């Protein structure tokens, strides 16, 4: 203990003799700590908890289409629907389309990032609301413009609505009135790891809200959707990937005019080619 105290006294004397060096050293240390914290935050968000708030995240994997050269690409809605309806080794497949939205709140409005999502989005991810509800099976349909509802983030709820009861309240998003039906839990940020979204609206509302042309959800050439699958219990990634590959090969034959050479695969979420992780790894 005496030796330690002597060392500390010596260090203090040296620091007082060279204040400039001390300030530089302290600044360098602070920058190093901040950088380490930032790196850990990225690793936590992208690798350890790519979709925080989701149930059984070990069962969630990225679904990606492959172009004629074997490079990863996004997925069209018709391809998403065919895989969702015919794959047996996954218990669910969700689709999302990120978009900047204008939220009207009384006399002012604000810009926020949201996701247009398939109706099964929250059910497949296993996310539970902190208020209200998420999309019901009646809102899973494909009738354009028929589901004017939205779920808001916990942060938006607290920031703009002060945690008050907002269930059933109407807000204007991209000038379209939507009814707030639920509030997501505090840790849920959306289905694209490393990114944060403020509201979720059924995908079939996107054309009416001027987020995409009305023909786009019917066009196999329009590969615009981020997709996430949930493996059935006991199914390995390799087993499910084989089934996905086989179905995509079949679709490439029967829909040769649009899907010739188009494949599909499954990847761990941390290795997905789209989202913040792709920026982090320089893809």
Same-domain status, 78 and 20: no
Three-class SS of residue 173?
strand
pLDDT of residue 29: 38
Same-domain status, 34 and 64: no
Same-domain status, 113 and 40: no
Q: What are the DSSP calls for 192-215, one per residue?
A: STT---SEEEEGGGTTTTTSS-TT
Does residue 148 or residue 274 have the better pLDDT? Answer: 148
Kindly calculate the radius of gyration of the chain based on its CA atoms and give it in whole angstroms: 24
CA distance linking residue 204 with residue 14, whole number of Å = 68
Same-domain status, 43 and 73: no
Domain that residue 32 falls in: 2-48
Beta-carbon neighbour count of residue 83 at 10 Å? 23
Work out the average pLDDT over 108-116.
92
Same-domain status, 105 and 29: no
How many domains does the structure of the chain reveal?
A: 2
pLDDT band at 41; cut points 50, 70, 90: very low
Same-domain status, 42 and 171: no
pLDDT of residue 128: 97
Which stretch of 46-55, 150-159, 206-215, 245-254 has the lowest confidence by average pLDDT?
46-55
Q: What is the dihedral of CA 277, 240, 76, 191, to 10 degrees?
A: -40
CA-to-CA dists, residue 119 to 98, 201, 221, 244, angstroms: 15, 9, 22, 22
Same-domain status, 270 and 189: yes
**Per-residue pLDDT tens digits for 79-106:** 999 999 999 999 999 999 999 999 987 6
pLDDT of residue 274: 85
**Per-residue pLDDT tens digits for 248-283:** 999 999 999 999 999 999 999 989 998 665 444 444
Is pLDDT at 194 greater than 90 in this prediction?
no
pLDDT of residue 193: 82
- Average per-residue pLDDT for the chain: 85
Is pLDDT at 24 greater than 80 in this prediction?
no
pLDDT band at 76; cut points 50, 70, 90: very high
Same-domain status, 70 and 195: yes
**Helix boundaries (H) for 136-210:** 154-161
- Provide CB contacts within 8 A for 250, sequence distance 6+: none
Same-domain status, 38 and 67: no
Does residue 141 or residue 44 have the better pLDDT? Answer: 141
Model confidence pTM above 0.85: no
């Amino acid at each position: 203990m005496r030796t330690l105290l002597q060392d500390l006294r010596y260090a203090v004397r040296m620091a007082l003799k060279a204040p400039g060096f001390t300030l530089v050293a302290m600044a360098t240390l602070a920058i190093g700590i901040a950088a380490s914290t930032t790196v850990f935050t990225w690793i936590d968000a992208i690798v350890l908890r790519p979709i925080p708030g989701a149930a059984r995240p070990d069962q969630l994997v990225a679904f990606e289409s492959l172009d004629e050269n074997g490079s990863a690409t996004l997925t069209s809605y018709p391809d998403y629907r065919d895989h969702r309806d015919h794959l047996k080794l996954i218990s669910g497949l969700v689709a999302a389309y990120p978009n900047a939205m204008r939220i009207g709140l009384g006399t002012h409005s604000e810009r926020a990032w949201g996701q247009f999502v398939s109706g099964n989005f929250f059910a497949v991810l296993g996310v539970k609301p902190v208020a209200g509800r998420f999309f019901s099976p009646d809102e899973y349909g494909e009738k354009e413009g028929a589901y004017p509802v939205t779920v808001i983030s916990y942060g938006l709820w607290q920031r703009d609505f002060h945690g008050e009861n907002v269930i059933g309240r109407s807000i204007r998003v991209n000038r379209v009135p939507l009814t707030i039906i639920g509030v997501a839990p505090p840790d849920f940020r959306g289905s694209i790891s490393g990114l944060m979204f403020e509201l979720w609206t059924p995908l079939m509302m996107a054309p009416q809200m001027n987020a995409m042309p009305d023909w786009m959800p019917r066009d196999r050439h329009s590969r615009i959707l981020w997709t996430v699958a949930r493996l059935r219990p006991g199914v390995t990634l390799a087993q499910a990937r084989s089934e996905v590959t086989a179905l995509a090969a079949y679709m490439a034959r029967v829909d040769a005019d649009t899907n010739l050479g188009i494949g599909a695969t499954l990847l761990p979420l941390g290795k997905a080619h789209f989202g913040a992780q792709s920026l982090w790894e320089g893809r």
